[in-house]
Amino acid sequence: MTWPTRLTTTRESLSLLPIAFEGVCGQVFLLGDDHKNDTMDNRQIAALFDKMADLLEFQGANPFRVRAYRNGARRVNDLPEPMASLVKENSDLTAIDGIGKDLAQKIETLVETGQFPQLEELMTQIPEGVLALLRVPGLGPKKAAVLYRSLGVETLAQLREVCEAEQVRELPGFGAKTEATILAGIDLAERAVERIYWAAAEETVRQLLVHLRDCKAVRRIEPAGSYRRGCETVGDLDLLVDSGDADAVMDHFATFPGLAETIVRGSAKMSIRLDSDLQVDLRVTPSESFGAALQYFTGSKEHNVELRGRAKNLGLKINEWGVFRIGDGEEGDGEEYVGGRTEAEVYAALGLPSYPPELRENRGELALATEADLPRLIELSDLVGDLHMHTTATDGKQTIREMAEAARERGLAYIAITDHSKRVTMARGLDAERLRAQWKEVDQANEEFENFTLLKGIECDILEKGGMDLPDEVLAEADWVIASLHYGQKQPRQQITDRLTGALENRWVSIVAHPTGRILNKRDSYEVDMEAVFQAARENGKLLELNANPARLDLDDIHAARARELGIPIVISSDAHSTDGLEVLRFGVLQARRARLTAADVANTRSWKEVAAMVGRG
Ligand code: DGT
Ligand code: CA
Ligand code: CA
Ligand code: ZN
């Protein structure tokens, strides 16, 4: 394994990066764009240390060694200064608590070369499927090792077999309940192997485009498929190239540095597999078919099926080569090319407007019959505030002022500081006293900024038994109260629903955050009657969050569309735990577009004054 030196596109990096997990609540963090290509950032280093610890633990290595990596991972992750800068400044890394000589040297190597030889060596000693086993929720390295040694389990498929054969419950330290948990987790792990987050796909797309644009035979290139539709996860990538020389394009494609193998190469289509395991389908098409091919391969399949039906009714045929008028079948009466250079030509031939790719799911978009019917979907630049973020007071990495500065640089006019409440002990959640002290700080910071507003907020937990983690008189002093359900997620449906609707009935609650609690590829939504939640939000004039973290995207597109129908304002929030974390807003916007939201449907496109009025504040 010599490439990639920076480990940018291995499967592990795709699952860990740009997203890494942290904390008891499954908060997810995202790297900033600026780190993408150059050096390792702290979270990447921490993720690799954690992986090293996992594999060592799986091997049954000395627990002290395992712990050294785990602690190191945490230290590196929590450190506000980038390791890369410390290394460049020749700082003594061993001065950092928890970083010994050994780890310091590994960090230096990682920063300077992108390499981690010990990890690569370790990976050669461990069966390939084991990494997938470790992705099963509820199956740590120790348990995985037991399964491997006693039952020979090396793959997810084998794991499923032994669970279904009820062999796992017989092992010491397992039992029927653990067996059931593991079995349920296999589906999630399998999905995680098959589909990657949109945000992770984006980075690979970027690299592919940079590479392919170097080829002179490429006239134009566009990503298609689920990626172009902005789906929350992507199964494979589809790229479309306009060129008169398919061979030259495919030859160049074959030199992509991340290529692991060529799966198939035909006259105009080539599929490759990347080191990350991700498949990329490339199609080369002449200019007169480019729009038709782009339309066809953008899909979705359901949208296209619907389109083909319409075409037929009009005496037309539509495929990846263009739109054709079908002859009456007489001798010599062939098909006449109607259009296909651009997507607009294709849709126009069918008397339809050009649908934004995010809407092409056959979820009613074809009823929008003319260009005038198309909504102007929300754009990132419509957002003027961000109402969910954390600071060093709990589990964030930056201070109030740093978050404010970063948000202002991104062009926002207001932010709410919403750290965790005391129930979230792992994140040192705030009690009333610390919260009030923080609000004083927020007020002070607010004085220092012109044309920018800092709001006193809280992400208050909804307790397991129902009710809020802080008393009403405290919540009443806030500008903005987020209610979140982080604990007791396994409770029965009615109980969870009651907790959420109860929070929405609280006079001082403004919004419920990440309403379903799902984490893509990692954790399904809790059991909840969302229709009851929507009704409670509507009746109480409350808002619902579309959490923009690419691993959450919660509400999802269908739920967000339902909220729109019911007239419940959506707030797109970053839930940032660092200044880089503000970046994720654009992923939330993409999901909102899939839900057909316009700027008017989203509360934080409005001034704080207007939002405050919506939630009975100010
Ligand atoms: P993915 O890759 O699972 O995230 O989802 P897509 O939508 O990218 O699906 P993919 O890669 O299998 O195919 C790309 C597009 O090609 C798809 O959205 C529509 C078009 N397509 C593929 N297979 C068919 C088909 O059998 N019929 C039609 N009408 N279109 C197809
Ligand atoms: Ca695809
Ligand atoms: Ca494909
Ligand atoms: Zn939060």
pLDDT of residue 82: 86
Residue 31 region, left (φ>0) first, then alpha (ψ -120 to 50), else beta? Answer: beta
Could you tell me the distance, in angstroms and rounded to a whole number, from the CA of residue 298 to the centre of ligand 2?
8
Q: 540: how many CB neighbours lie within 10 A of its CB? A: 14
Q: Are 361 and 304 in contact (CB under 8 A)?
A: no
Q: Are 83 and 75 in contact (CB under 8 A)?
A: no
Q: How far apart are CA 324 and CA 129, in angstroms?
A: 49
- The fold of the 380-614 domain, in CATH, is TIM Barrel (3.20.20)
What residues pack around ion ligand 2 (CB closer than 5 A)?
Answer: 225-226, 236, 238
pLDDT of residue 39: 64
Q: Which residues of 347-371 are buried (b: 16+ CB within 10 A; e: fewer)?
A: bbbbebbbbbbbbbbbbebbebeee
Report CA-CA distances (Å) from 370 to 124, 243, 595. 58, 32, 19
Residues of the chain with pLDDT > 70, as a percent, come to: 93
For the chain, what is the mean pLDDT?
A: 90
- Cα 277 to chain centroid, rounded: 18
- Which ligand 1 atom sits closest to the C-alpha of 304? 29
What residues pack around ion ligand 4 (CB closer than 5 A)?
Answer: 459, 575
Eight-state DSSP code of residue 464: T
- The fold of the 18-194 domain, in CATH, is DNA polymerase; domain 1 (1.10.150)
Q: 11: how many CB neighbours lie within 10 A of its CB? A: 18
* Six token digits for residue 330: 């007489």
Could you tell me the distance, in angstroms and rounded to a whole number, from the CA of residue 594 to the centre of ligand 1?
17
Q: How far apart are CA 366 and CA 350, in angstroms?
A: 11
Nearest to 572 by CA among 546, 549, 595, 592: 546
- 32-34-39 Cα angle (round to 5): 100
Could you tell me the distance, in angstroms and rounded to a whole number, from the CA of residue 236 to the centre of ligand 1?
10
pLDDT of residue 329: 63
Could you tell me the distance, in angstroms and rounded to a whole number, from the CA of residue 22 to the centre of ligand 4?
12
* Six token digits for residue 341: 């250079």
Q: What is the pLDDT of residues 351-403, one digit of tens each?
A: 999 999 999 999 999 999 999 999 999 999 999 999 999 999 999 999 999 99
pLDDT of residue 330: 65
Mutate to test the pocket of ligand 1, among 238, 279, 295, 303 (most ligand atoms within 8 A of CB): 238
Q: What is the pLDDT of residues 417-447, one digit of tens each?
A: 999 999 999 889 999 999 999 999 999 999 9
Using CA positions, which residue lies closest to atom 30 of ligand 1?
301
1: pLDDT strictly greater than 80: no
pTM here? 0.81
Q: Are 589 and 570 in contact (CB under 8 A)?
A: no
Could you tell me the distance, in angstroms and rounded to a whole number, from the CA of residue 307 to the centre of ligand 4?
42
Q: Minimum-distance ligand to the CA of 234?
A: 1
User: What confidence tier does 35 reach under pLDDT thresholds 50, 70, 90?
Assistant: very low
Nearest to 587 by CA among 12, 194, 23, 200: 200
Eight-state DSSP code of residue 119: H
Q: Are 271 and 280 in contact (CB under 8 A)?
A: yes
Same fold, 197-373 and 380-614: no
Q: 435: how many CB neighbours lie within 10 A of its CB? A: 23
pLDDT of residue 127: 85
22: pLDDT strictly greater than 80: no
pLDDT of residue 113: 84
The CATH number that domain 197-373 falls under is 3.30.460.10
DSSP string, 34-77: GGSSSS--HHHHHHHHHHHHHHHHHHT--HHHHHHHHHHHHHHH
Domain boundaries, the chain: 18-194, 197-373, 380-614
Q: Are 73 and 46 in contact (CB under 8 A)?
A: yes
